[in-house]
Structure 1
Amino acid sequence: MNLLDQLSGGAASEDRARCSRKGCRADAAWQLLWNNPRIHTPERRKIWLACGEHRAWLEEYLQVRSLWKETLPMGTATESDTR
């Protein structure tokens, strides 16, 4: 691996889905689908990934801001996956 790959996290070092919580390196078990109605069309879904430990924290963060839509287990196809 070269220096640029090490500094950027390199594709080779990040081959698994990881939790989106800052600083967490755990494997993701959940997909949190969300949408910001001020900037996204109603059908658009953004996805954050969550491990079991941070699922509730990330859901609450999105819910308080009225952004959360639904939570699905990893491996569940979403509409945005088919576009």
Structure 2
Amino acid sequence: MTGPDVAPDGEHVCSAKGCRQAAAHAVIWRNPKLHTPERRKVWLACDEHRQSLADFLALRGFLIEVVGVADLTDADG
């Protein structure tokens, strides 16, 4: 779950295990022990999994921010 998932029809799907719902949110993160400060990893999230994915990463000190999928940039991914 390290990059944006895209369904065959081009729709972004949630990165939560077993979820195939459309993603509305991008949970941006990095592991500071592995990634340089400019590195931005992305998990996509539907409305239902947005908070649990963000909480999982925040607990580990990895969460950077949560933005809308439409707000992703070329630096994300």
TM-score w.r.t. the length of structure 1 is 0.77
Offset from partner CA, 1:29-76 (integer Å, 9 cap, x none)? 000100001110011100000000000000000000100000001111
- Residue in 1 that maps onto 2:12: 17
Indicate the structure with greater strand content.
2
Indicate the structure with greater helix content.
1
- Residue in 2 that maps onto 1:31: 26
Counting matched residue pairs gives 71
RMSD value over aligned CA atoms? 1.9
- Residue in 1 that maps onto 2:46: 51
Q: Which stretches of structure 1, 4 residues or longer, exceed 3 Å deviation after superposition?
A: 11-14
Identity percentage of aligned residues: 45
CA distance in 2, matches of 1:57, 1:12: 22
**Cα gap change, 1:13/1:64 in structure 2, threshold over 3 Å: closer, same or farther?**
same
Unaligned runs of 5+ in 1: 1-10
Contact map agreement 2:26 2:72 (CA 8 A) in 1:
no
